[in-house]
Amino acid sequence: MAKVSVGFFSFTEVTDPAEHRSYNAWHQLDHMPEQYPLPGVVFGQRWVSTPACRAARAVDGALLAPIHYVTLYLMGEPLDETLREFRALGEELHAAGRFHEHRRSRLSGPFDVTAMAAAPRVLVSAEAVAFRPNLGVYVVVREPDAGAAAGDTGDTGDTGDGALLGVDGVAGVWTFAAGERFAGHRWRPGRRAVTVCYLDREPLGVAGALGERVVASSTVASPVVFAGPFETITPWHWDWFDQGG
């Protein structure tokens, strides 16, 4: 059984252009480290949509168009306890004044891992590819039609180990889907599905090829509402928006 069964996403907008450095310092040096002592938090990583990455988005729907960052925590058992403590820790840090005030989460919550795939050339297993160093990710968000059958996220495999995994620079692909079983924890990710392509080439170098495949796979029943590249964040290198971008 895979160690990781859930990905907790936060698609985040920084609401004040002057606060990007302070936001990154807070998240990487204060907020994210505090998550690791929680029982089921296995790994966490953050990526940035730089101005160049924003310009390279293939799909940019209204909900996620404003975002600058994606955070992904990988979680395993005990899931219910972990999610309870995850929320409680956020509330505790907020009460202690250790929460960034110039941020807005446009989409957040736990998503079940539904598929894992690794490119044969990288040698590591599909379960390990998310822990392999990367230069960035390409993220696809789908929002299935409300009339689709319950549990059907519209993930047909076109964004799995086929079309996207075959693009040079994609080391692996993990897919996630929101489920009703987490509703008791008060997060509302909807019925969306998220695909994360882990990249070992510069994100802007592969964004075009990935975007073409993603747009071609979008359907009326399961439309793509966001697709774009993100760069891996290196601590203390937070200058992408210094000109107010």
Predicted local confidence at residue 184, as pLDDT: 62
Predicted local confidence at residue 161, as pLDDT: 44
Q: Is residue 243 one of the residues assigned to a domain?
A: no
Predicted local confidence at residue 144, as pLDDT: 83
* Per-residue pLDDT tens over the stretch 41-95: 999 999 999 999 999 999 999 999 999 999 999 999 999 899 999 888 888 887 8
Predicted local confidence at residue 93, as pLDDT: 82
Q: Which two tokens mark 28?
A: 């990487």
Residues of the chain with pLDDT under 70: 1-2, 145-162, 183-185, 244-245
Q: Is residue 242 one of the residues assigned to a domain?
A: no
| Cβ neighbours around 86 below 10 Å, total | 20
pTM: 0.92
Q: How many domains are contained in the chain? A: 1
Kindly give the residue spans of alpha helices, DSSP state H, lying in the chain: 20-26, 51-55, 79-95, 203-217
d(CA 147, CA 144) in angstroms, rounded, equals: 8
Q: Which two tokens mark 128?
A: 């390990």
Predicted local confidence at residue 182, as pLDDT: 74
Which residues are bridge partners to 133 per DSSP?
none
Q: Is residue 245 one of the residues assigned to a domain?
A: no
Q: Is residue 204 one of the residues assigned to a domain?
A: yes
Predicted local confidence at residue 183, as pLDDT: 67
Q: Is residue 121 one of the residues assigned to a domain?
A: yes
Q: CATH no. for residue 36?
A: 3.30.70.100
Domain of residue 156 covers: 6-232
